[in-house]
Amino acid sequence: MSGKDFTEHILHYRNIFIYLLIGTALTVGASYMDFNVSNSIAGAVFVGLTIATVKGYLVAANFMHLNSEKKLIHWILLLTVFFLGLLLLIPLLWDINLISNY
């Protein structure tokens, strides 16, 4: 790796750092706002988690350099994310219960 590449990398990481700070500020700011979706905080949850997902993506793609990682790693993570989704759906089972309880 040449010195020029190195400087480029540093600039890149600095930018990501700035984006993450902006993201943090946005999350905190958003939490004080009232999105007023039918009198619940669903709107705030949606906005907060969307920002968190973007931040998480920035960390995973750049600091964990997933954007240039090997295919095998991507496949393993895809499988993991699928099962993670399944795991997070567990609470949904209760709601579906209510629907079919008539």
Partner 1 sequence: MEIPYNVELREDTGLYNSKLGIWLFLASEVMLFGGLFSAYILLRTGAPVWPPIGEHGSITHLLTETIPHATFNTVILILSSVTMVMAWMSLRMKDLGKFKLYLGTTIVCAIIFLVVKYFEYSHKIHEGFVPSHDTYMALYFTLTGLHGVHILGGIVVLAYFFGPGLKMWDVEPQRFTNRIEIVGLYWHFVDLVWIFLFPTLYLLN
Partner 2 sequence: MSDSHHEESFWRKYIFSTDHKVIGIQYGVTALLFLFFGFSLMMVMRWQLAFPDTAVPFVGGLIKWLADLNGFASDGNLPADLYNAFGAMHGTIMIFLGVVPLVVGAFGNYLVPLQIGAVDMAFPKLNMSSYWVYFIGGVIMFASFFLPGGAANSGWTSYPPLSDIATTGQTYWLLGMVFLITSSLLGSINIIVTIVQLRAPGLTWMRLPFFIWSQFVTSFLLVLAFPPLEAAGIFQLMDRVFHTSFFLPTGLVVGGEILNVSGGGSPLLWQHLFWFLAHPEVYVLILPGMGIIAEILTNNTRKPIWGYKSLVYSSAFLGFMSFLVWAHHMFLTGMGQGMSVFFQTTTMIISVPSVIILSCFMLSLWGGSIRFNTPMLFALGWIPMFGIGGLTGLPLGLSTPDIHLHDTYYVIGHFHYVVAPGTIFAIFAGIYYWFPKITGKMLNETMGKIHFYTSFIFMNGIFWPMFIQGLAGVSRRLADGGTSYAHAQDVLNWNAVMSYSAWLLALAQIPFIINLILTLKKEREANPDPNPWKATTIEWTDTTSPPLGHGNFEKVPTAHRGPYEYSVPGEDSDFTPQSQN
Minimum gap (Å) between residue 23 Cβ and partner 2: 27
CA distance 40 to 66: 36
Residues near partner 2, by CB under 8 A: 72, 79-80, 83, 86-87, 90, 93-94, 96-101
Gap between the Cα atoms of 26 and 11, Å rounded: 23
The tokens of 21 are what?
Answer: 């700070």
Instruction: Give the containing element (helix H, strand E) for 94.
Output: helix 92-99
Q: Which residue has the tokens 């930018």?
A: 15
Residue 55 touches which of partner 2, partner 1, none (Cβ within 5-8 Å per kind): partner 1
Residues making contact with partner 1 (CB under 8 A)? 1, 3, 6, 9-10, 13-14, 16-17, 20-21, 24, 27-28, 30-31, 41, 44-45, 48-49, 51-52, 55-56, 59-60, 62-64, 70, 72-73, 76-77, 79-81, 83-84, 87-88, 90-91, 94-95
